[in-house]
Structure 1
């Protein structure tokens, strides 16, 4: 960002949002860009082949994909695979297709308007609406971090024998890891996350090879089955997989991360950036599907095949793998993958917290202090709840986090669909009607499923 743009942003920030004139459907001009210390720091290629241009845009999608394979999703995949074998693979596939559509809208919003979802909500709604939206986003990120912190702590416990309360405190150090990596550039954060994803994929590839699943049944599992409707218990688990797919913090995160690329301001450059960023997120979400499917396949090939039909706890799955596969390597790989997954998730949740805090509140403090405050907002409740509830309550805590996320989801997904469908705010980049229709249907389905899950949990 050049000096002139920075001066204009600072001048604009002096005017309260409620006093700014409406311009182009927005409540004034855009303030400071999302993640200002990272904004447009990754150079993009203006010439060359599609592949060369795409390389510069690869990265944000993988940080987003982390949210689709967090420890909360592991529990539903383990339960589904152990209880019903490969049948629920079709639900994992459908969930992934829904995610691809919604994340493409995040890309469109971030590139076209220069605003992340938090900024867009702030600049398009009165304060009495934006403040509750901000509180909802903070609650969602805290709930997300609760699941990820617990997952990381369980991984540390399984590998090194650390008590959960100590493991939770250790996860607070990841904020310093982000600061250290950022000193070398945002690409280092992306590279670190991608490397951990690669380790997770490798761990499950080895475990699946050891489990020797029935590949004919695996392929058949990706085809929707009538059993999903006929079996109430199977339908309930399917709803759990679908309902827990879209995390509210992912919508804020992606709309901010796409702006780390320096793609230019012309309509042609923005249109190309939307296309390339959508390809990036689609590829990354396919990797997330592969890993989620791997968890379900592993559970089906080990637990379901041997009659262990009620495996849902992460530490329970770890302890069962060694006797079932006849090797101590399998549970070690499971713990390593869980630790990598939890660490990845806490990093992306920290960045999401920064985007939400900056976007809604327009705070101006040092980046390291912003990240530390964001991390503490999430880590303190996790430490208190974990110490208070004890190590045996981790499963209930994961369920609690998913319920809280379910309640907060409409406050993120509805504004996203409405904003990207607005001609006044998006201009020539407004989402096509067919895309808005599909996104609306997906939003209604996901919100309805989440509401049903909350009702079922509340009524026992």
Structure 2
């Protein structure tokens, strides 16, 4: 006999809050002060934004700027718009249904489907963690000359860091992430000033150019940028951490929470747009202008920046931004790992055990490749990690768009007709582009 769904549209009732140790732990002022409420909701968006500026995105931005100048800025702009819509849906799911995306999948799908989705999600988080480890390792080598093998081991330390700060309070984690984002922002601001980009060419690049589609190579890189728009774990993460806010769990309170959380998310992702655009702009103003159109590797980009700009500081700031990017993304990735395991399996591990498991899964292949193949091997491993993320993406986006468009689950907060059509259109575009990118990558086409 088929199990009857509950009155709110779920197969099972949700018995445990997401991230229970920090659930509803950040106070939201009861008075009507707009700025105080906005400050209270500021933080989750920054944790999400780091996923859009992780080391895995650097290669496509560098390659796009080196080969086509400022032309692909429009692709980054469109990608950011897609991200804003999907992250809005993720935070809305968490606030309205009081479930993170993993819990929602568990409470909606049959156990076997949920188990498969969990396995796929765990693989994607390990792949994402792998990309962040590689970025941090490359940065440590560039900054301090630390051998890659030792660099891999050093990245384990952040497991202890995030555990320490989470026990201190969730606001501490958000503060660490904000500080690292500020570091990245300062570094790239210096790089942009030093590279002296052409202002009007930058503005022109934000407007979509038909040449992007006509040229097969620019189209391929554009697919790479668009295809990596949304990190799957970010959707699980956002739907969870927004519940750390202590807003009234009433229709009015949820409406208020969605409003301020969306502002936080939109502003934070706009900052991510600036940083991603900055990478492409710097690449266009230096490598493309100097004729180094084949630059697509992070290490090569670092080597060429110093002689082109004539300042050793440019290389230091580049590596420092890479290190901050890698560590930032790792902090949020390991946190997402806890959310996914607890959400899908409805069990709780001690946080340090869960994060150590995630880190070991990523460290083992990184260590083997760094010992046998060195720098070039880690670059290939970075590409493989992005392919895995592409495969997983549709398994996160489709349930999210489906749930938030279900009036039985969302009630008065269900997606309106325009948002529903836009969300499905974005989903179809991203999924098709990821499949196209995956197909061509596996065939060795560029």
TM-score by length of 2: 0.97
Q: Report if the CA contact (8 A) 2:286-2:305 is conserved.
A: yes
Aligned to 2:267: 283
Q: Residue 320 of structure 1 aligns with which residue?
A: 304
The one-character-per-residue Cα deviations of 1:203-242 (angstroms, maximum 9, x if unpaired) are 0111111111101101111001111121111111111110
Q: Is the 8 A contact 1:41 1:261 kept in 2?
A: yes
In 2, are the aligned partners of 1:37 and 1:367 still within 8 Å (CA)? no
Mapped to 1, the partners of 2:261 and 2:365 lie a distance apart of 34
Contact 1:141 1:378 in 2 (8 A): no
Q: CA deviation at 1:428?
A: 1.8
For residue 137 of structure 2, give the secondary structure of its aligned residue in structure 1.
helix
Separation in 2 of the partners of 1:46 and 1:376? 43
Query: What CA deviation, in whole Å up to 9, does each residue of 1:165-199 have, x standing for no partner?
Result: 21111111101001121232110110110111011
- The residue that corresponds to 1:11 in the other structure is none
1:201 alignment counterpart: 185
Q: Report 1:174-323 matches (<5 A).
A: 174-323=158-307
Which segment is superposed worse, 381-390 or 32-41? 381-390
CA gap of 1:336–1:20, structure 2 versus 1, over 3 A, is: farther
Does the aligned pair in 1 maintain the 2:366–2:378 contact within 8 Å? no
- Residue 387 of structure 1 and its aligned partner are, at CA, apart by 3.3
Which of structure 1's runs of 4+ aligned residues deviate more than 4 A? 18-21
Residue in 2 aligned with 1:12? Answer: none
Whether the 8 Å CA contact 2:134–2:378 is kept in 1: the answer is: yes
For the residue of structure 1 that corresponds to 2:293, the secondary structure is coil
Is residue 141 of structure 2 the alignment partner of residue 157 of structure 1? yes
Query: How many equivalent pairs are there?
Result: 443
Q: In the TM superposition, what is the alpha-carbon distance from 1:30 to its structure 2 partner?
A: 1.1
Match of 1:34 in 2: 18
Task: Select between 43-52 and 275-284 the one with higher mean Cα deviation.
Answer: 43-52
RMSD, aligned CA:
1.4
Q: Distance in 1 between matches of 2:396 and 2:428?
A: 13
Q: In structure 2, how many angstroms separate the alpha carbons of the residues matched to 1:434 and 1:125?
A: 27
Aligned twin of 1:345: 329
Q: Deviations over 1:114-145 (max 9, x none)?
A: 10000000000101110110011001101111
- Matching residue of 1:143: 127
Aligned counterpart, 1:445: 429
Give the drift of 1:20: 8.8
**TM-score normalised by length of structure 1:** 0.94
Partner of 1:408: 392
Deviation readout 1:325-363 (Å, 9 max, x if unpaired): 011010010000000000001000000100000001112
2:361 alignment partner in structure 1 = 377
Deviation track 1:355-400 (CA, whole Å, cap 9, x = no partner) reads: 0000011122323333333333333343334434432222211111
CA distance 1:38–1:213, shift in 2 (3 Å): same
CA contact 1:20–1:28 (8 Å) conserved in 2: no
SS at match of 2:291: coil
1:76 maps to which residue?
A: 60
Match of 1:387 in 2: 371
Shift of 1:21: 6.2
In 2, are the aligned partners of 1:23 and 1:29 still within 8 Å (CA)?
A: no
Distance 1:179 1:457 in 2: 37
Match of 2:383 in 1: 399
User: Is 1:52–2:40 an aligned residue pair?
Assistant: no
Secondary structure of 1:305's aligned partner: helix
Q: Is the deviation greater in 78-87 or in 45-54?
A: 45-54
**Distance in structure 1 (CA, Å) of the matches to 2:191 and 2:364:** 35
Question: Among residues 286, 295, 315, which one is paired with 1:331 in the alignment?
Answer: 315
1:125 has 2:129 as partner: no
| 1:388–1:353 distance in 2 versus 1, CA, 3 Å | farther
Identify the match of residue 108 of structure 1 among 85, 89, 92: 92
Q: Does residue 359 in structure 1 map to residue 343 in structure 2?
A: yes
Extract unaligned runs of 5+ from structure 1: 1-17
Query: CA, structure 1 residues 211+419, in 2 after alignment: closer, same or farther (shift >3 Å)?
Result: same
Sort the Cα spacing of 1:217 and 1:22 in 2 relative to 1 into closer, same or farther, 3 A.
same
